[in-house]
Amino acid sequence: MADPSVEPMSRRQLVIAALAAGCLLAPSPGAGAALPRLHAAAVQKPPSASTPLPAIKSVKPLRLSIGDTLTITGRNFLPGRGRNTVVFFRDGAPAVFLRAGAATKTRMTVKLTSKLARWLTVRNNGDRAPTRFRLRVIARRFGARFTPQKLSPLVSPATPKDAGGGPTAPTCTAASAAAAPSADVDGDGLDNGLELRIRTDPCTADSDGDGIPDGYEYESALDYNSRALPYPGKRPYPNPLDPSDAKTDYDGDGLTMADEHAAWVMYGHESFPLNYSDGTQTSGGPVAVTPATRWEDMNGDGFLTDDEKDVDGDGLTNWDEAHGRMQPGWWRSVITDEPSYPLAYQGTDWLDPDTDGDGLPDGADDVDHDGWTNAQEVARGPYMVQPFNPCLPDPTAQTCLLHPPFDNPPPPFAIRWKRDVDQSMTIWSVTSAVGSTSIGPVTVRIAFGCSGTTGCAVAFQPSASTSASGISVASRSQGPGHGGMRCSAQ
C-alpha cells in the first residue's frame, strides 16, 4: 500500500530517482561540462558527406532486353567511361551491379549483360520472364534511393535476333571460349583459359548464381590461401562454384563475402587487387593506426582490420554499421531481457556516409534524436546509452516517451539492478521504477542535472528482499546542472 503521507509523483520523477539512486549514471566531469568529444571523425564533416548525391531523372527505354543499352539522365554523375555503377534491384533477389559505359555529369549509358539475365524472374515452365528492376547510381556517393516504378525499366530475356530480323547474335560456348583463351568474354576478371581450367563458366560472370562474380571469389580464395597456387577450388574456400557461400564470413572479420564484395564494387570500382577481400582480414596489407584513426582500433592492437576501417568516411566503423552497434538487432541479441523502445529506429548503411540524406555524416548524426551523436552512443564510455532508445541516458530528452506503457516498458522505465555504491552500502533490487511507493526520504542529484543546489527530493520503496528497514541516500550538490552523486546507508 502506498503511504498516504507521501505526495504523488510523476512516473518520470520516479524514473529519475531510480536511475540516480542506483548510481547507473557515472559522475560527470563537473558542473556545466560538455559532452565528451569522442574522436575527430565523429564531429567533423568528412568531405564525402558534402558531395552531391547522384540522382536519376529519366530512363530510356523503359522496355528493353538483355544485351540492349540503357540511357540514364540525371545529375552528379562522374564524367568518363567506367566510372559509375548502376545497381539493379528487385524484391527477392540480390542487387546486381553493372559498370556504366560513357558518361557525362548528366547522362550515362549501361549495357545490360548476362550478369543481370540470371536474376530475371522465372516462370513455372522454367523460362525467364520480363522483370522490372529499380535503379540506383553509385558515383562518388551512393544515390539516395532506388527509382520509383515509373522510372524502373522492364527487362526481358535476350532475343536471338535483332529487331530488324538480322542474323542471330554470336553465342558464347566452351569451344568459342577455348579458341580465345586470353579473352574475358563474360567480363568477370578471369580470362577464358583460366575459367576452363578451374571449371567455372567462361560465358557467365557469376557461374554459381550467388550474386558475386567469379573473379571476386577466385581472388578472395587466393587471399584466404595466402596467395598460394594452384587455386584452392574446394570448400571451405570462397568458391565461384558454391551457390550457398555469399553470406559466409570466411576470413572471420565480421563482414560476409557479400558485404565485402559490395564494398569492392562501390569503393574499389571492381578493380584488382581487391580493396575488400573475404580471404583476409587486412585487405591490401596491414594498416597501422594513426592519431586520426585511433578511434577505429576496437581491439587496441595498433592496426586496422577490415571491420575496424571506415570505408564510407562517416565516423563509424564498418562492423558497427554493418552488423554491430548501429544495428537494432545487435542490441536485441546482446541484451535479451531488455524490452525494445516502441518506435523502431533503423540502423545506418555502412556503405553510405549519410544514410538519411540530411547532409550530416552518420557518426555525427543522431538516429534517435536524443542529443547524443551516434558515435557517442556507440562508444558508450561511462554512460548508459543506446542509439535506438532516446530515453538513454537522459529520460528528459526531447524525444523520450512522456507516457511510457505500464506493460513491459522500455528502459529506463523498468529497471532491475543490484549495485554496490561507494563500498558503503548496497542498493537492493528494484523491480520497477514505475508505481513505486515510499518508506522514507531519498535525496539525490542526478547526473544529467536538476534544478536547485540541494538536489531533487524523491521517494521509492525497496523490494521485499531488503533486510534493512529503510534506505536513505544522501548527496550534497555542488550546484545545478551536471554532476555525480554520493550514496550512503542508514
Cell readout for 455 is 538536489
Residue 346 lies in a domain: no
- DSSP assignment letter at 419: E
- Do residues 83 and 269 make contact, with C-beta atoms less than 8 angstroms apart? yes
Instruction: For residue 327, tell me if it sits in a domain.
Output: no
Helix-helix angle 257-267:214-224, to 10 degrees: 110
Number of domains in the chain: 3
Q: Say what the pLDDT of residue 51 is.
A: 82
Q: Does 245 fall in a domain?
A: yes
Measuring CA to CA, which residue among 215, 225, 270 is closest to residue 97? 270
Q: How far is it between the farthest Cα atoms of the chain? A: 97
β-sheet with 69-75: strand ranges across: 55-60, 69-75, 107-111
Same domain, 142 and 64: yes
Angle, alpha carbons 201-203-204 (nearest 5°): 70
Q: Are 382 and 334 in contact (CB under 8 A)?
A: no
The answer to whether 255 touches 350, Cβ cutoff 8 Å, is no
Q: Is residue 377 part of a domain?
A: no
Residue appearing with cell numbers 550514496? 487
Q: Report how far apart, in Å, the C-alpha atoms of 56 and of each of 22, 25, 148, 276, 439 are.
A: 54, 48, 10, 28, 66
Domain limit, last residue, from 127, 156, 185: 156
Lookup: cell for 326:
548501429
**CATH assignment at residue 145:** 2.60.40.10
Residues 140 and 191 in one domain: no
User: Residue 157 carries which DSSP code?
Assistant: P
Element (H, E) at 210: none
Q: Is residue 162 part of a domain?
A: no
User: Do 447 and 481 belong to one domain?
Assistant: yes
Assigned domain for 167 exists: no
What pLDDT, on the 0 to 100 scale, is given for residue 3?
A: 41
Instruction: Give 86-107 as a 3 state SS string.
Output: EEEECCCCCCEEEECCCECCCE
Q: Mark whether 479 and 391 lie in a shared domain.
A: yes
Distance between CA atoms of 57 and 454, rounded to whole angstroms? Answer: 62
Q: Is 452 exposed, middle or buried (0-12, 13-18, 19+ CB in 10 A)?
A: exposed
Contact 296, 379 (CB under 8 A): no
- Same domain, residue pair 407 and 468: yes
C-alpha dist (Å) from residue 265 to 38, 164, 270, 280: 31, 36, 5, 17
Examine residue 312 and state whether it is found in any structural domain, yes or no: no
Is residue 45 in some structural domain?
no
Decide if 204 contacts 196 (C-beta within 8 A): no
Sign of CA dihedral 190, 193, 199, 205: positive
Does residue 188 share a domain with residue 274? yes
Same domain, 18 and 92: no
Q: Tell me which residue range forms the domain holding 443.
A: 1-36+386-490
270 and 218 in one domain?
yes
For the chain, 490 residues long, give each residue's pLDDT as a single digit of tens: 434 333 433 444 444 444 443 333 333 333 333 333 333 333 334 435 678 899 999 999 999 999 999 999 999 999 999 899 999 998 878 888 999 999 999 999 999 998 898 888 877 667 788 889 999 999 988 888 899 988 999 999 987 654 444 455 567 888 998 999 999 988 889 999 999 999 999 988 888 888 899 999 999 999 999 887 767 777 788 999 998 999 999 999 999 999 999 999 888 888 899 999 999 999 999 999 999 999 999 999 999 999 999 999 999 999 999 999 999 999 999 888 888 899 999 999 998 898 888 889 999 999 999 999 999 999 876 777 889 999 988 889 999 999 988 888 888 886 543 333 332 322 323 333 333 333 333 333 333 233 333 333 333 333 333 333 333 333 322 222 222 333 322 2
**Domain end (from 248, 280, 312):** 280
Q: Are 232 and 206 members of one domain?
A: yes
Whether residues 217 and 129 fall in one domain: no
Task: List all residues 6 or more positions away from 311 whose beta carbon is below 8 Å from its beta carbon.
Answer: 263, 267, 276, 318, 350, 351
Place of cell 516462370: 123
Q: Which residue from 101, 291, 252 is spatially nearest to 187, judged by alpha carbons?
A: 101
Spell out the SS3 assignment of 53-91: CCEEEEEECCEEECCCEEEEEEECCCCCCCCCEEEEECC
93 and 149 fall within a common domain: yes
Angle at 468 (CA atoms; ends 465, 470), nearest 5 degrees: 105
Q: Please count the other Cβ atoms lying within 10 Å of the Cβ belonging to residue 59.
A: 19
**Cell numbers for 279:** 580471404
Last residue within a domain, chosen from 256, 280, 304: 280
